[in-house]
Amino acid sequence: MTGFDEDGFTLTDTPKPGFAVLNDSPVGEGGNEDLLESTVTAGNLAELILASRGAAPFTVAIDAGWGMGKSSLLRRLDAALAKDHAVSTVWFNAWTSERADAVEGLIKSVLLSFDRNVLRRVVRGTLRKTHVVGAAKALSLLASSFFGIGQVVDAMWRALAVNAKSRNEIKAVVRDMAKAWLAKGGQATGQRLLVVFVDDLDRCSDERIFEVCETIKLYLDVPGIVFVLACDQAVLWRAVGHDRAGEGVRYLEKIIQVSYPIPAPSPALVRNLVNGYVRQSGTAHLFDESMKTLLIERTDRNPRRIKRLINSFVVEHRLGRTGDELSAENLVKIILLRHFYPEFYTMIIHTSEGDMATRFLDYQDFRESVRQGAEPDPVARERLFTATGVRPPAANASKAEVSQSLEEVTKELPVNFPELARDKEFVALFRSIPPNALRLPQPLVEDSYPDFPLGDQSRRTDTFAGLRVLWIDDVPDGNRHLIEEFRLRGARVDTATNREEAIALLPRLRPNALISDIQRYDDSHAGFTDLRYLRDQHLYDGPAFFYTGHVTPARLSQAKTLGADGVTNNPTDLLTWLGELPT
C-alpha cells in the first residue's frame, strides 16, 4: 500500500530490503575488513624489507592480476613499515598521474619526502654549480629556498630538467639528498629507509610504464631507497618488450630484484571473503552454499569480480524494473546465470526454436537416468524426443540401445548442453529458478543482447567495402543490430525471408557472402535445404554462413557436408568471418 507525505512524496509500507553496494577501496579504507588476511603477508614482507635495508636500493614487485588485492597489500605493508620510526614512505600512483610527466612526478614524490633542511642544504650546493643551472636559475633556487618545501622542489626541477645534460644532474642531486637524509638519521633508531610505493603501474599505457621503469633504473638508484611496485608483471613484460615478452623479462630483471606473486586465496580464505561480502552487502540470506561455490569458482577466486557481481544484483534490485515482478531470491540467481553462463542465458531468452530451458532440463533428467540406470520421467522423455525429432528407445530396449538414443539426442541439442549437464552448481542453480522468472520482460534481457548502436554515422568505416551480403531469415528484424553494423562498416546487405525472395535478389545483388538461419517456420532444416538448392542449381557458389539460435553437433556436421564456412550464434564470429573475406 502506498500514500503521500505532506510534501507530496510517495510513501510505501513495504520498502525494499536494505542491500548495500560494496566499495572498491583497499583493505583498511572505506570500512573494508581484511578478509583475506593480507595483514599477515604484509607483516612478513615488512620484516624482509627491514632486514634487508642495508642492501637498499632495491625493488620489490607485488605481482598479481587485476582485482587480486595488490593495493590492499600495499596499504597493509605501509602500515606495517610505519611501526619503525626510521622508515618513511611516499606514494606515487602511476595511473592517476597519467597525464603528468612520469619522471617529474616520481622524482618530486621522493624529493618531497626529504625534510626542509636537507633540501635547502642541497639547494645551496646546487647553487655553486652555476655552470649547470645558470646564474638566473641559481637566483630562482636561492629565492625559493626561503619559502615552502614544495616551491623548492618545483624550482629545483625547473632548473635541472631543461635538457638532457642538466637532467643527468638530477641523479647526483637526489643521491646527495639521500646521503644527507640518511646521515641525519644517525644510528639510534636504526638505519633510515625511504620506501616508495608505486601503484597501478599495469593500468598505464605502454609509454608510461616504460617511463616509470626508466626513472627507477636511471634516476633513483640511490642509497636508502626501496621501491615497491604493485603490478601485473605480464603486462609490464609486454609493455617494455613491445609485445616480445622475453625481452621484457630481461629488461625488468635489471630493475626488480624481489618478486612476490600474490597467490589465489585458499578455499577457506575465499569462502571467508564471500561470507564477508554478502554480510556487508546485506545479501547473505540470498546465497546458499552451492551459489557461493559457483561465485567463487566462476570468478577464479578474484575478489574484485566477486564484489562486482554482488554489486550488479544490488543495483539491479534497487534501480531495475523488476521489483514487483521478481523476488530478490530469483533475481540474484538470474544475475549469476547471466554473468557466468551468458551464451546459455542469451539462448533461452532469445531463441525462436522452442522452450530451450525445458529442453535442457529434460535432457539433463534423461542423461542422469541413463547414467544411473534408473527409469526416466516418461513425460520429460517424450517431450525431449519429440522436440529433437529422434526416435525414442523401445520400452524393452537394452542399456546399450538407450545409451545410443542418448547420443542421438545429444547431436540435436546445443553443443554446450553436455558440459552444462555435468556442472553440478549450474544444474542446481538453474533448477532453482522458476520458469516464469525466465520469461519476464526484464532489463536483464536487453543487457545480455549484443550491443551494436543503431544509426551512429560517426562509426562509419570502409572495413567491409565491396562486401555484398544476402541474408535469408524469416524474421529479419531480429538481426537489425548486425545488419546495421555491417552497413556502417561499408557492406551492402539485402534481406530475404524465404528461398523465392532470395533467388529474386541474386541477379541484382550478386552477393559475395550469404548468411542464413536454419529453422524457418515449421521447417527445422530450411536453411540447409535452401543452400543445397542454390548450390545444385549453380545459383550461388560463394561463402555461406549459418547464424542460428543454437549450434548442435548435427548442424555442424550437416553444414560441413554442404560446404558452408561456419555455424554460429555469436555475432562476433560473423563480424570476424566476414572481415576475413576477400572483396
Name 385's Cβ contacts closer than 8 Å, sequence gap at least 6. 391, 392, 405, 409
CA 317/CA 159 separation, integer angstroms: 57
Q: Does residue 429 form part of some domain?
A: yes
CA 140/CA 145 separation, integer angstroms: 9
What does the DSSP 8-state code read for residue 454?
S
Concatenate the DSSP letters of all residues of 149-163 into one string: HHHHHHHHHHHH-SS
| Consecutive H or E run containing 241 | none
Out of 212, 246, 261, pick the residue that ends a domain.
261
Place of cell 609485445: 243
Q: Per-residue pLDDT for 308 more than 60?
A: yes
Cα-flanking dihedrals φ and ψ of residue 355, to 5°? -85, 90
**How far apart, in Å, do the first and last CA atoms of the chain sit?**
64
Name 222's Cβ contacts closer than 8 Å, sequence gap at least 6. 57, 171, 174, 175, 178, 179
Helix extents (H) in 321-423: 328-340, 342-350, 356-372, 378-388, 399-411, 417-422
Concatenate the DSSP letters of all residues of 249-311 into one string: HHHHHTT-SEEEEPPPPPHHHHHHHHHHHHHHHT-GGG--HHHHHHHHHHTTT-HHHHHHHHH
The whole domain housing 433 covers: 353-447
Same domain (yes/no): 112, 225: yes
pLDDT value of residue 222: 76
Q: Does residue 309 form part of some domain?
A: no
Average pLDDT over residues 540-559: 94
Same domain (yes/no): 415, 545: no
Over residues 199-210, the pLDDT tens digits come to 888 888 888 888
CA 569/CA 549 separation, integer angstroms: 6
* CB neighbours of residue 281 within 10 Å: 20
CA 154/CA 108 separation, integer angstroms: 8
Out of 261, 290, 313, pick the residue that ends a domain.
261
pLDDT value of residue 166: 59
The band of 7, judged by pLDDT with boundaries at 50, 70 and 90, is low
Q: Per-residue pLDDT for 31 more than 90?
A: no
Residue 209: CATH number of its domain: 3.40.50.300
Same domain (yes/no): 467, 430: no
Over residues 375-399, the pLDDT tens digits come to 889 999 999 999 999 999 988 889 9
Q: What cell was used for 109?
A: 614524490
Q: What cell was used for 513?
A: 557472402
Cα-flanking dihedrals φ and ψ of residue 468, to 5°? -120, 115
Q: Per-residue pLDDT for 72 more than 70?
A: yes
Same domain (yes/no): 392, 528: no
Same domain (yes/no): 503, 569: yes
258 bridge partner residues: 60
Concatenate the DSSP letters of all residues of 317-334 into one string: HHHSS-TTTS-HHHHHHH
What pTM was estimated for this model as a whole?
Answer: 0.71
Q: Per-residue pLDDT for 129 more than 90?
A: no
* CB neighbours of residue 422 within 10 Å: 11
More confident site: 123 or 406:
406
Residue 418, burial from CB neighbour count under 10 angstroms (0-12, 13-18, 19+): middle
Per the structure, how many domains does the chain have? 3
**252 neighbors 237 (Cβ within 8 angstroms):** yes
Tell me whether strands 544-547 and 566-568 are parallel, antiparallel or unpaired: parallel
Lowest mean pLDDT among 321-325, 423-427, 436-440: 321-325
Same domain (yes/no): 186, 56: yes
Same domain (yes/no): 511, 404: no
Question: What's the number of CA atoms in the CB half-sphere (13 Å) around residue 38?
Answer: 29
Q: Does residue 188 form part of some domain?
A: yes
| Consecutive H or E run containing 175 | helix 164-185
Q: Does residue 410 form part of some domain?
A: yes
CA 299/CA 498 separation, integer angstroms: 44
Q: How much of the chain, in percent, has pLDDT values that exceed 90?
A: 44
Same domain (yes/no): 469, 436: no
Q: Does residue 270 form part of some domain?
A: no
More confident site: 432 or 24:
432
Residue 575: CATH number of its domain: 3.40.50.2300
**268 neighbors 276 (Cβ within 8 angstroms):** no
**452 neighbors 481 (Cβ within 8 angstroms):** yes
Same domain (yes/no): 506, 541: yes
**127 neighbors 135 (Cβ within 8 angstroms):** no
**213 neighbors 107 (Cβ within 8 angstroms):** no
The dihedral formed by the CA atoms of 21, 26, 32 and 38, expressed in degrees to the nearest 10? 140
Same domain (yes/no): 144, 66: yes
Lowest mean pLDDT among 13-17, 72-76, 86-90, 266-270: 13-17
The dihedral formed by the CA atoms of 537, 543, 547 and 551, expressed in degrees to the nearest 10? 90
Q: Per-residue pLDDT for 265 more than 60?
A: yes
Same domain (yes/no): 404, 492: no
pLDDT value of residue 340: 92
Lowest mean pLDDT among 88-102, 329-343, 360-374, 569-583: 88-102
Out of 412, 447, 482, pick the residue that ends a domain.
447
- CA geometry: angle 530, 536, 540, nearest 5 deg: 70
Name 491's Cβ contacts closer than 8 Å, sequence gap at least 6. 464, 465, 467, 468, 469, 578
Q: Does residue 201 form part of some domain?
A: yes
Q: Cα 210 to the chain's mean position, in Å? A: 24
Q: Per-residue pLDDT for 293 more than 60?
A: yes
Kindly list the distances between the CA atom of residue 8 and the CA atoms of 1, 2, 14, in Å, as whole numbers in the listed order.
16, 12, 18
514 bridge partner residues: 470, 544
Q: Where are the beta strands (DSSP E) in 397-476?
A: 468-472
More confident site: 291 or 222:
291
Same domain (yes/no): 171, 222: yes
- CA geometry: angle 189, 193, 195, nearest 5 deg: 140
- CA geometry: angle 405, 408, 410, nearest 5 deg: 110
Q: Does residue 45 form part of some domain?
A: yes
**559 neighbors 567 (Cβ within 8 angstroms):** yes
CA 18/CA 318 separation, integer angstroms: 9
Tell me if residue 4 falls in helix, strand or coil. Answer: strand
Q: Per-residue pLDDT for 439 more than 80?
A: no
Mean pLDDT of all residues belonging to the chain: 82
The band of 191, judged by pLDDT with boundaries at 50, 70 and 90, is confident
Over residues 141-171, the pLDDT tens digits come to 444 444 455 565 565 555 555 555 655 666 6
Tell me if residue 496 falls in helix, strand or coil. Answer: strand
Name 503's Cβ contacts closer than 8 Å, sequence gap at least 6. 534, 539
Q: What cell was used for 218?
A: 636511471
Q: Does residue 8 form part of some domain?
A: no
